[in-house]
């Protein structure tokens, strides 16, 4: 399998890349910033997966939606801006798919220290938001790197215009994970789990409801939310030095209004500043 090495992000980019909200797994990568990238294929999960759904996702996702966030890290405020977008629903090689996107920029004074302009694109199945293709277009400190990863089964041939990432059926990418958590009916379901591929490694992710009536105030306003704890595992071992919480509003869109992450080097918050 052809595999493009993706380097790990430095700690100062942690608050930015956590969005995929997002993006819980970007925080995981950032927390291991001193590690060297490896050329390796995605590790397969040993856990069984639910059958692929043929039912369209609930109407939490809307074409043209744009959600803007401000990133804060420890005592530093407004270190970056992040936009999550539901660009469109479209056909993707015979699959009905959502095109999801995240764009991150550091802003001054952080930008003077670390210039970052990254874009992530996800094409996720419209039914269960399983990943079809995940793209990383990175521009950091003047260095650019691109990867287009087609998520596919071992029985499928490698694509000619992308790198094949062989993962279990139903695997999501980080953007698809956040979108999926928005579609869960947390009034009826207390926990969900499944594999997530971040462009480099395969993780098992477990999410559970810890509060169904949590008050949250962010720049965009005050909300009553469902607060969800997310735990990340490599194989059977939990990444215990990093913890995540996602707060989704009790509105029709299940808008993600706050992402919190505790990492070994500090606490990060992504706060919704504007929704359209």
Task: State mean pLDDT over 245-270.
Answer: 90
pTM for this model (two decimals): 0.81
Is it the case that residue 41 has pLDDT exceeding 60? Answer: no
Tell me the CATH number of domain 11-34+54-275, given options 3.30.9, 1.25.10, 1.10.3470, 2.40.360. Answer: 2.40.360
Share of the chain above pLDDT 70, in %: 79
**Higher pLDDT pick, 57 / 87:** 87
CB neighbours of 179 closer than 8 A, spacing ≥ 6? 57, 60, 61, 86, 98, 100, 122, 124, 129
pLDDT digits (tens, 9 = 90+) for 151-185: 998 888 878 889 999 999 999 999 999 999 999 99
Both tokens of 95, joined, read: 């699959």
Burial class (CB in 10 A: 0-12, 13-18, 19+), 181: buried
pLDDT digits (tens, 9 = 90+) for 183-204: 999 989 999 999 999 888 899 9
- Confidence at residue 275, expressed as pLDDT on a 0 to 100 scale: 96
- Confidence at residue 44, expressed as pLDDT on a 0 to 100 scale: 37
- Confidence at residue 242, expressed as pLDDT on a 0 to 100 scale: 77
Task: State mean pLDDT over 257-274.
Answer: 89
Cα gap 234→63, rounded to integer Å: 33
* DSSP one-letter string for 3-30: ----PPPPGGGHHHHT-BTBBHHHHHHH
Q: What residue segments make up the domains of the chain, in order of their start?
A: 11-34+54-275
Backbone angles phi, psi at 14, to 5 degrees: -55, -50
- Confidence at residue 58, expressed as pLDDT on a 0 to 100 scale: 53
Backbone angles phi, psi at 135, to 5 degrees: -125, 140
- Confidence at residue 39, expressed as pLDDT on a 0 to 100 scale: 35
pLDDT digits (tens, 9 = 90+) for 191-238: 999 999 988 889 999 999 999 999 999 999 999 999 999 999 988 899
Cα gap 149→135, rounded to integer Å: 6
Cα gap 31→18, rounded to integer Å: 11
């Amino acid at each position: 399998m052809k595999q493009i090495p993706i380097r790990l992000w430095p700690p100062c980019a942690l608050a930015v890349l956590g969005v995929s909200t997002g993006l819980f797994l970007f925080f995981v990568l950032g927390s291991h910033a001193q590690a060297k990238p490896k050329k390796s294929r995605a590790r397969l999960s040993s856990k069984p997966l639910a059958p692929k759904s043929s039912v369209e996702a609930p109407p939490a996702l809307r074409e043209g939606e744009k959600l803007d966030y401000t990133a804060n890290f420890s005592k530093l405020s407004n270190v970056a801006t992040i936009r999550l977008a539901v660009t469109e629903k479209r056909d993707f090689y015979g699959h009905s798919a959502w095109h999801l996107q995240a764009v991150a920029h550091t802003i001054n004074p952080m930008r003077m220290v670390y210039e970052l302009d990254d874009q992530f694109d996800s094409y996720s199945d419209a039914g269960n938001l399983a990943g079809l293709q995940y793209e990383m277009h990175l521009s950091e400190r003047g260095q650019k790197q691109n990867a287009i990863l087609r998520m596919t089964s071992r029985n499928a041939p490698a694509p000619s215009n992308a790198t094949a990432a062989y993962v279990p059926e139903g695997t999501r990418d980080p953007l698809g994970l956040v979108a999926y958590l928005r579609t869960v009916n947390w009034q009826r379901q207390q926990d969900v789990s499944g594999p997530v591929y971040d462009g480099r490694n395969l993780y098992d992710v477990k999410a559970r409801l810890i509060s169904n009536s949590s008050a949250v105030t962010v720049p965009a306003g005050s909300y009553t939310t469902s607060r969800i704890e997310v735990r990340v595992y490599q194989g059977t071992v939990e990444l215990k030095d990093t913890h995540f919480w996602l707060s989704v509003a009790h509105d029709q869109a299940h808008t993600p209004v706050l992402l919190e992450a505790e990492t070994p080097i500090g606490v990060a918050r992504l706060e919704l500043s504007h929704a359209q």
